[in-house]
Amino acid sequence: MPKPIYIVDGARTPFLKAKNAPGPFTASDLATAAGSALLMRQPFAPDQLDEVILGCASPSADEVNIGRVVALRLGCGNKVPGWTVMRNCASGMQAIDSAIANLQCGRSQLVLAGGVDALSHAPLLFSEKMVRWLAGWYAARSTGDRLAMLRTFRLGHLAPVIGIMKGLTDPIVGQLMGQTGENLAWKFGITREDMDAFAVESHRRVCAGQDAGHYAEEIVPLIDRDGQVYAADDGVRRDSSMANLAKLKPFFDRKYGRVTPGNSSQITDGAAWLVLASQEAVERHGLQPLGRIVDSQWAGLAPDQMGLGPVHATMPILQRHGLAPDDLDAWELNEAFAAQVIACLRAFADDDYCRTHFGVDAPGAPDAARLNVDGGAVALGHPVGASGARIVLHLLEVLRRKGGGRGLASICIGGGQGGAMLVETVL
Amino acid sequence: MSANMQQDWKHWRLRREETGLAWLDLDKAEASANVLSADVLAEFAGVLDVLDAVPPKALVIASAKPAGFIAGADIEEFSRLDSVLAARMLVERGWLLFNRLAAVSYPTLALIRGHCMGGGLELALACRHRIVVDEPGTKLALPEVMLGIVPGWGGMLRLPALIGPAAALDLMLTGKSVDAKKAKRLGLADDCVPPRVMESAARILALSGVAKKPLPFKERALRWAMNGPARAKVADKARAQAARKVGRENYPAPFAIVDIWERHGGNALDVPAGDRSSLDTIFSSPTARNLVRVFHLQERLKAFGKDSDFTPRHVHVVGAGVMGGDIAAVCALRGMTVTLQDQSVERIAPAIARAAKLFERRHKGDARQVRFTLDRLIPDPKGEGAARADVIIEAIFENLEVKRSLFAELEARAKPDAVLATNTSSLRLEDIATALKDPSRLVGIHFFNPVPMLPLVEVVQGEATDAEVLRRATGFVRRIDKLPLPVKSAPGFLVNSVLGPYMLEALRCVEEGVAPEMVDAALVAFGMPMGPVELVDTVGLDIAVAAGKALAGEGAEPPARLLKLVGEGKLGRKSGEGYYRWVDGKAVKAGDEDERKGGLWRKRRPAPPPPIPAGLAERVLAPLLAATRRCVELGVVGDADLADAGVIFGTGFAPHTGGPLHCCKVKGRPE
């Protein structure tokens, strides 16, 4: 990149698992709580930001430009613009990349960028049939017309469409995200046991990370209006085991599939933010950056293979910088599905796959000991828009523990895309 | 006729539109707010003459002041009244003038934006229509009762007629204000509109002269009954409501309002001299004079922050207990960003929950405002906010060493010009200040519990406190709309040092065998908002023991029963029992018990309470008076008036007396 892009600081809410009812906080509540705590510890005031960019895959109908709503709720003032970006599961990473673009071209010097989603607040929608019926009902003027309309009404019209199921279905290939995971499992011969073992390890790593305090720095505890405290990610299970996971039934390809809720990421509410700055802003405010974003990449692939997106976004970065997987000190690869992460690792090591898609020999899979060292979304949850920002933030935390270095964060994107960012710590 | 006539009025501006509509703006000369002084009213009579000569199609009366519509009568003029006759003339002037306004042939409309109080509302009531502008600053009230007088310019006549006697008496007897939405709901205003359409709404309504929609039948029947056959019953109920709060001997005004409505058609001038409700009774009682005095004392306290242009945006509060949490909440309500620090987020959580309830009450269900206010109140377990704050207030438990090390740390992190304040009540400011590199930075800002309710805040000057720091601290107190009282650093400052001996004397009476109920009844009859024994229960018996030691020294012997109760863990309200048993936040007193046992069917009247022994209230108050006097002598407060102000606004000391020192001066002793 022509100009250095600094990550000054970051923070996120605990990731709160959806419990079949709207959670205690709306999306803008979450983003505001994490953002105000983050901004409070900066040496600059919120109104000194040049802009606020928020990724969100499913903003509620009353907060469609949630980026601006949150900017105002954070006390940034009327003059700081706020906007919202959407690239499904990578909306948070897109927010960072949009910030990078504006920092690069000199439009901004200091940007608050992040992602949020409160999937527990996803709406129930009227069915298409019901909407059409209602339109006819409102158009009916005479009593006769109305009676005629009433006769066409069917109870089935009332069956709601679950908004989140729509959101998690690919509109091009008509497959649920979990079904695209099944595609990859089939393609790479990944077994249910492989996936469950991966899930158990993810939970184990998150527990170890929580116990060691590796999440303490990035999490802003929340308090609801009844005084209840939400201090930690609550989807993680300390009792996760192969035996427990074996009890779950396949969800996406019922009966015959391998992907279960237990080896998939959870449906969760959460927000994550980063403060990004140019060299000039770092000097002006005397900031002490955590790290630098060296490069970023987006890639596209077949929608029904979307889980391999990280491989497609990562390969060009490795090639541009002449890096082998072992040259990277840490990897964060978002865990949408255990099957999908395992498929990525196999693809990285698969000469056929790499030659077909990238025209090069396989670079080899990243070392499991350097990948998602504190666990991932299978245990933490995947508040869609927030995850891309979370993995970049946490990657810096992992690198800091190692005494510095280079790392790569990547994420798969529903619709058949992948995003990746190369970061390094600043000494 | 030219569209715009030039007149040589000082306070009024009349403008005629092509449509035939006339706009009359009040813009009192050389004043920031409109008040209805004698010359403003005299000019208004002249305006009406001009309008009579060429009647407009309709008249809209509005204010040209950004501050509001009309703040009321001119209190300065009112406080200069030297005779009952002069008072009578003042009432007559407004009564006749507003009757004239009410009788004009053309439609009239008051366009009310901002405060509309007392005489201002009576003027608006004399118009045919009222439109209120939906803004937080719009408040309508008849607060005359708070100054010990009655709304004599037609308020008692027109308000009950407009909104029904029940709601009208409630407003007039409490003096409380209603906002724009409530004014519409009550029928006090014809419509409630946003500012962007206020002129248009006024024009359309005034010119169309559309009558209001008739009330629903049930409401009409009810009003007819309340104004007719049930009038006496409504009046009795209102009297009982007033009597629950105040006695007629100390506060004649509320009872007079009921009488004048019930028997004199709302016309105060109609009451024969010598009647208990007559103007001469009201104006010759010391209460009105004393309440005006209290008003002026309040204005004096309000003026303390005026010489500071300090506009703090961020307040950092350390200590999320009841006190610290409430201080933080009050600051957030005033638009400031607040960081609230304590040792863990779990300790901060109850304060956030309490603040959420307060915000919901104060914002009256405006969910967006509640959310914005909560957004400004940021839990800060790591104390990051200290580095950014303009004001830092410490409200942790009373431990000198902990406070000293806290302030040393805060000083290192705070901005160089941030105000560093302690809310301590029992530690010496000087002992804390020496922990700072620059002891002159420390000031005391001492709040009273419950912070959202109590208006007074003592601003404590330590020996070393810098004058500018003091000024900023005082300015901050005004910015959160509290009343700052500058005090010198001395044990208990003013309020606690006068309350301590007073509560102690009350407990001594109990020790001697006087029932707590009796002691409390005596002081409530005197005019205190709460009896002293109940007050001890409310602040907590343990706190009382500790405060007693701090104020009187370790050697002082607290009452034996107090120590015994503390020993048994009976700490008062918070533990459910102290001198009283507490049920649902209320003290259970001997008299109440009878009533409760009576049940629904055998509603026994409680046995009449035994007569209060003569001199009981005086005995309990004597130490308070002595302590107040001592505070003046020692220079803890600037002068006797400020001492009275502090004791009234800090303890609720009977306002009709004008304050402890004032009533001593007048009578030699209370009562």
Q: B87-99 b/e with 16+ CB inside 10 Å = b? A: bbebbebbbebbe
Closest CA relative to residue B330, chosen from B302, B306, B351 = B351
Q: Do residue A378 and residue A305 come from a single domain?
A: yes
Q: Which of A121, A203, A214, A382 is catalytic?
A: A382
A382 is an active site residue = yes
The span from the CA of A30 to the CA of B506, in Å, is 52
The 3-state DSSP class for residue B147 equals helix
What's the domain range around A410?
177-213+294-425
| Residue A144 falls inside a structural domain | yes
Contact at CB, A225 and B381, closer than 8 angstroms: no
Q: Binning pLDDT at 50, 70 and 90, where does residue B605 land? A: low
The span from the CA of A418 to the CA of A416, in Å, is 7
pLDDT in the model for residue B216 = 83
Q: Rounded to a whole number, what is the distance in Å from the CA of A31 to chain B's nearest CA?
A: 11
Beta strand pairing status for B178-179 and B139-141?
A: antiparallel
The letter for the amino acid at B291 is: L
Q: Rounded to a whole number, what is the distance in Å from the CA of B138 to chain A's nearest CA?
A: 25
The span from the CA of B173 to the CA of B189, in Å, is 20
Closest CB from B375, B380, B387 relative to A73: B375
CB contact residues (below 8 A), chain B span 99-128, against chain A: none
Q: How many CB atoms lie within 10 A of CB B141?
A: 21
Closest CA relative to residue B491, chosen from B554, B572, B405, B438 = B554
Chain B: residue nearest A34 by CA? B378
Instruction: Give me the domains of chain B, ranges plus CATH numbers.
Output: 12-284 (3.90.226.10), 314-489 (3.40.50.720), 496-566+612-667 (1.10.1040.50)
Contacts of B337 in chain A (CB under 8 A): 75
Contacts of B353 in chain A (CB under 8 A): 223, 225-227
pLDDT tens figures, B103-128: 999 999 999 999 999 999 999 999 99
Contact at CB, B353 and A41, closer than 8 angstroms: no
Q: Which residue has the higher pLDDT, B611 or A85?
A: A85
Q: Do residue A184 and residue A333 come from a single domain?
A: yes
pLDDT tens figures, B292-316: 999 999 999 999 988 889 999 999 9
The letter for the amino acid at B18 is: E
Q: Which of A89, A203, A344, A394 is catalytic?
A: A89
Q: Do residue A331 and residue A391 come from a single domain?
A: yes
Beta strand pairing status for A222-223 and A406-413?
A: unpaired
| Residue A234 falls inside a structural domain | no
Q: Rounded to a whole number, what is the distance in Å from the CA of A235 to chain B's nearest CA?
A: 20
Q: Do residue A133 and residue A199 come from a single domain?
A: no
| Residue A197 falls inside a structural domain | yes
> Maximum distance among all alpha carbons in chain A?
79
The structure tokens listed for B490 are 């001395």
Q: Which residue reads 């720091």 in tokens?
A: B469
CA distances from A124 to A18, A82, A157, A264, B37 (A): 15, 28, 13, 23, 62
DSSP string, B238-307: HHHHHHTT--TTT-HHHHHHHHHHHHHTT-GGGSPTTSTTSHHHHHHSHHHHHHHHHHHHHHHHHHTTTT
Contact at CB, B384 and A40, closer than 8 angstroms: yes
| Residue A39 falls inside a structural domain | no
Long-range Cβ contacts of A125-130 (<8 Å, 24+ apart): A125/A160, A125/A161, A125/A162, A125/A163, A125/A166, A126/A160, A126/A161, A127/A157, A127/A159, A127/A160, A127/A161, A129/A154, A129/A156, A129/A157, A130/A157, A130/A158
Q: Do residue A136 and residue A185 come from a single domain?
A: no
Least confident residue range of A185-189, B194-198, B223-227, B449-453? B223-227
Contacts of B374 in chain A (CB under 8 A): 225
| Residue A307 falls inside a structural domain | yes
Q: Which residue has the higher pLDDT, B219 or B205?
A: B205
The 3-state DSSP composition of chain B as helix, strand, coil percent (nearest 5) reads 50, 15, 35
| Residue A347 falls inside a structural domain | yes
pLDDT at A274 over 70: yes
Main-chain dihedrals φ then ψ at residue A276, nearest 5 degrees? -110, 140
Q: Do residue A202 and residue A138 come from a single domain?
A: no
The span from the CA of A408 to the CA of B143, in Å, is 69
Contact at CB, B349 and A228, closer than 8 angstroms: yes
Q: In chain A, how many domains are there? A: 2
Q: Binning pLDDT at 50, 70 and 90, where does residue B1 land? A: very low
CA distances from A23 to A30, A119, A221, A378, B369 (A): 11, 9, 15, 19, 21
Residues 6+ apart with CB under 8 A from A53: A67, A82, A83, A84, A85, A95, A98, A99, A111, A112, A113, A114
Q: Which of A126-130, B227-231, B495-499 has the highest mean pLDDT?
A: B495-499
Q: Do residue A139 and residue A181 come from a single domain?
A: no
Q: Does B372 touch chain A (CB under 8 A)?
A: yes
pLDDT in the model for residue B599 = 46
Q: Do residue A204 and residue A131 come from a single domain?
A: no
What ipTM, to 2 d.p.?
A: 0.92
Contact at CB, B356 and A37, closer than 8 angstroms: no
Percent with pLDDT over 70 in chain A: 100
Q: Do residue A382 and residue A302 come from a single domain?
A: yes
The structure tokens listed for A346 are 């196999």
Q: Which residue reads 């703006």 in tokens?
A: B25
Q: Does B374 touch chain A (CB under 8 A)?
A: yes
- Contact by Cβ (8 Å): B137, B114: yes
pLDDT tens figures, B427-483: 999 999 999 999 999 999 999 988 999 999 999 999 999 999 999 999 999 999 999
> Prior bond to B450 cis, omega within 30?
yes
Closest CA relative to residue A412, chosen from A303, A324, A259 = A303
Residues 6+ apart with CB under 8 A from B389: B314, B315, B316, B339, B414, B415, B418
Angle in degrees, CA B105, B106, B110, rounded to 5: 125
The span from the CA of B195 to the CA of B461, in Å, is 44
Q: Rounded to a whole number, what is the distance in Å from the CA of B362 to chain A's nearest CA?
A: 15
Q: Do residue A149 and residue A190 come from a single domain?
A: no
| Residue A119 falls inside a structural domain | no
CA distances from B569 to B506, B566, B610 (A): 21, 5, 31
* Radius of gyration (C-alpha) of chain B in whole angstroms: 27
Closest CA relative to residue B396, chosen from B421, B361, B371 = B421
Contacts of B346 in chain A (CB under 8 A): 229
pLDDT tens figures, A70-82: 999 999 999 999 9
pLDDT in the model for residue B84 = 86
Question: Which residues are bridge partners to B338 per DSSP?
Answer: B315, B377
Q: Does A229 touch chain B (CB under 8 A)?
A: yes
- Contact by Cβ (8 Å): B182, B167: no
The structure tokens listed for B622 are 């004597």
Q: B23-33 b/e with 16+ CB inside 10 Å = b? A: bbbbebeeeeb
pLDDT tens figures, B369-408: 999 999 999 999 999 999 999 999 999 998 999 999 999 9
Q: Does B376 touch chain A (CB under 8 A)?
A: yes
The letter for the amino acid at B397 is: F
- Domain boundary among the residues A100, A133, A162 is at A162
CATH assignment at residue A365: 3.40.47.10
Q: Do residue A181 and residue A153 come from a single domain?
A: no
Main-chain dihedrals φ then ψ at residue A196, nearest 5 degrees? -65, -40
- Contact by Cβ (8 Å): B445, B421: yes
Q: Which residue has the higher pLDDT, A288 or B245?
A: A288
Contact at CB, A227 and B353, closer than 8 angstroms: yes
Contacts of B376 in chain A (CB under 8 A): 75
Chain-centre distance of CA A242, in angstroms?
26
Closest CA relative to residue A387, chosen from A122, A55, A61, A71 = A55
pLDDT in the model for residue B4 = 46
Q: How many CB atoms lie within 10 A of CB B493?
A: 25
Indicate the average pLDDT of chain A. 95
Long-range Cβ contacts of B231-236 (<8 Å, 24+ apart): B231/B165, B231/B262, B232/B262, B234/B165, B234/B166, B234/B169, B234/B262, B235/B259, B235/B261, B235/B262
Contact at CB, B375 and A229, closer than 8 angstroms: no
Q: B150-159 b/e with 16+ CB inside 10 Å = b? A: bbbbbbbbbb
Q: A39-69 b/e with 16+ CB inside 10 Å = b? A: bbbbebbbebbbbbbbbbbbbbeebeebbbb
pLDDT tens figures, A392-418: 999 999 999 999 999 999 999 999 999
CA distances from A414 to A171, A265, A269, A271 (A): 10, 14, 18, 19
| Residue A356 falls inside a structural domain | yes
Beta strand pairing status for B178-179 and B129-133?
A: unpaired
Closest CB from B350, B371, B388 relative to A227: B350
Contacts of A75 in chain B (CB under 8 A): 337, 375-376
Q: Do residue A339 and residue A412 come from a single domain?
A: yes
Percent with pLDDT over 90 in chain B: 76
pTM: 0.91
pLDDT in the model for residue B598 = 45
pLDDT at A42 over 60: yes
Residues in chain B: 671
The structure tokens listed for B534 are 């109940």
The structure tokens listed for A102 are 């504006």
